[in-house]
């Protein structure tokens, strides 16, 4: 059983389906139910319920079974939550995060940065060299920024995530 009170899992689900989606997950009835039934039980708009269920399905956290009405020929989708794969999803997200941090570290390693005196932004050498070391936004002088602290923070965070 998945502990939906876990703050990490709540954060993951919140990023995945939003607050209304969390309401769908926490109040969804047991067993197979239609999206209309979920909407009625959870008091969440049908389009939000459907969006949430499809996102959960794409992430292998919900499944459906189709049933055809013999009289009308209409298809009915019966949905069921299965959050047992949430740890796999969490692992995948962790791998993506580490990859993104390593990409950011490589960018920091391979560039020199300059900042505007008016805090317009942070610019790489190539950009400010074309503007004669003037801010491309406001035209004021830019000054060199040592990014060693940024690189050390990225390295520390990567190490923390890789070696829990």
The pLDDT of residue 164 is 65
Confidence of residue 7 (pLDDT cuts 50, 70, 90): confident
User: For residue 142, which phi and psi values (nearest 5 degrees)?
Assistant: -110, 150
Same domain membership, residue 68 and residue 94 = no
Residue 62 lies in a domain: yes
Tell me if 146 is assigned to some domain.
yes
Q: pLDDT tens digits, residue range 105-154?
A: 999 999 999 999 999 999 999 999 999 999 999 999 999 999 999 999 99
Angle at 153 between CA 147 and CA 156, to 5 degrees: 140
Between 157 and 164, residue with greater pLDDT: 157
Q: 84-93, pLDDT tens digit by residue?
A: 999 999 999 9
Q: Is 61 a member of any domain?
A: yes
Domain boundary, last residue among 49, 81, 113: 81
d(CA 131, CA 122): 14
Domain match, 73 and 95 both: no
pTM of the full predicted structure? 0.72
Q: Strand pairing partners for 163? A: none
* pLDDT, average across residues 32-46: 95
- pLDDT at position 6 is 84
How far is 134 from 22, CA to CA, in rounded Å? 48
Domain ends where: 36, 65, 81?
Answer: 81
* Number of domains comprising the chain: 2
Q: What's the pLDDT tens digit per position in 43-72?
A: 999 999 999 999 999 999 999 999 998 888
What's the domain range around 67? 7-81
68/97 same-domain check: no
Annotate the chain with three-state secondary structure.
Answer: CCCCCCHHHHHHHHHHHHHHHHHHHHHCCCCCECHHHHHHHHCCCHHHHHHHHHHHHHCCCEEEEEEECCCCCCEEEEEEECHHHHHHHHHHHHHHHHHHHHHHHHHHHCCCEEEECCCCCEEEHHHHHHCCCECCCCCCEEEEECCHHHHHHHHHHHHHHHCC
CB 114, CB 144: distance < 8 Å = yes
- Give residue 163's pLDDT: 85
In this structure, the answer to whether residues 106 and 70 fall within a common structural domain is: no
- What mean pLDDT is predicted for residues 26-52? 94
């Amino acid at each position: 059983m998945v502990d939906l009170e876990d703050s990490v899992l709540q954060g993951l689900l919140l990023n995945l389906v939003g607050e209304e989606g969390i309401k769908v997950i926490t109040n969804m009835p047991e067993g197979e139910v239609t999206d209309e039934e979920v909407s009625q039980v959870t008091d969440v708009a049908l389009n939000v319920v459907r969006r949430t269920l499809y996102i959960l399905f794409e992430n292998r956290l919900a499944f459906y079974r189709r049933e055809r009405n013999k009289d009308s020929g209409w298809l009915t989708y019966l949905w069921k939550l299965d959050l047992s794969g949430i740890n796999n999803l969490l692992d995948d997200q962790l791998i993506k995060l580490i990859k993104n941090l390593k990409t950011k570290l490589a960018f920091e390693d391979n560039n020199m940065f300059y900042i505007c005196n008016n805090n317009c932004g942070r610019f790489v050498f190539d950009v400010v060299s074309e503007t004669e070391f003037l801010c491309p936004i406001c035209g004021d002088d830019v000054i060199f920024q040592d990014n060693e602290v940024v690189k050390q923070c990225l390295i520390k965070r990567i190490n923390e995530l890789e070696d829990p």
